């Protein structure tokens, strides 16, 4: 992902109110390893159920406010984005307001995602070797690509007007 500055990140949010946009707490952008992520994800330090993601869609950053559902999923659930089968972290249900008028009417989309948005790291971990001759790097690259396209599909769905 390319480096994006604070002003662009703040302006990129597609499903927030004026008040929410002003209050957006940004992460330490200097500490972000931009070349190792396909989306930027962080939790709100003051509102424990709120999280934020920003990714590039058609070369423009798009940010979404994500709200964690109060109830935790029964049993262990796979993250829809990184689909990490080793479940190294909690996966929770987030509901996200659709962009525009639909969102203002209360229309949301739900998805199961890693609680702290660990997906970038999970997708980049070296897969366990499945058999002799297994191409570890190719498997890793295809997981990264799959994660990227899963996130993109979700964001496009949120942006879609209906």
Residues of this chain that bind Zn ion (CB under 5 A): 79, 81-82, 114, 119
Q: Residue 126 in contact with residue 136, Cβ under 8 Å?
A: yes
The minimum distance between CB 27 and Zn ion, in angstroms, equals 17
The minimum distance between CB 131 and Zn ion, in angstroms, equals 25
The minimum distance between CB 80 and Zn ion, in angstroms, equals 8
The minimum distance between CB 78 and Zn ion, in angstroms, equals 8
The minimum distance between CB 122 and Zn ion, in angstroms, equals 5
C-beta closer to Zn ion: residue 92 or 114: 114
3-state secondary structure of 46: coil
C-beta closer to Zn ion: residue 39 or 81: 81
CA 47/CA 70 separation, integer angstroms: 13
C-beta closer to Zn ion: residue 9 or 79: 79
C-beta closer to Zn ion: residue 82 or 155: 82
Q: Residue 4 in contact with residue 61, Cβ under 8 Å?
A: yes
108-114 sheet: strands from edge to edge: 39-43, 50-57, 60-68, 91-97, 108-114
DSSP state of 34: G
CA 81/CA 153 separation, integer angstroms: 10
Q: How wide is the angle at C-alpha 12 spanned by C-alphas 10 and 114, nearest 5°?
A: 90
C-beta closer to Zn ion: residue 99 or 114: 114
- Residue matched to tokens 């994006």: 4
């Amino acid at each position: 992902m390319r480096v994006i500055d604070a002003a662009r990140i703040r302006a990129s949010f597609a499903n927030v109110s004026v008040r929410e946009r002003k209050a957006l707490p940004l992460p330490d952008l200097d500490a972000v390893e931009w070349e190792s992520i396909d989306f930027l994800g962080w939790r709100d330090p003051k509102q424990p159920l709120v999280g934020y993601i920003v990714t590039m869609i058609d070369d423009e950053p798009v940010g979404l406010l994500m709200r964690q559902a109060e109830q935790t999923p029964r049993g262990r659930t796979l993250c829809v984005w990184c689909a990490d089968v080793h479940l190294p972290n909690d996966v929770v249900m987030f509901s996200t307001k659709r962009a525009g008028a639909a969102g203002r009417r209360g229309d949301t989309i739900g998805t199961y995602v890693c609680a702290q948005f660990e997906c970038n790291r999970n997708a980049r971990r070296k897969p366990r070797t499945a058999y002799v001759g297994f191409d570890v790097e190719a498997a890793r690259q295809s997981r990264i690509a799959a994660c990227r396209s899963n996130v993109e599909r979700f964001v496009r769905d949120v942006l879609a007007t209906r």
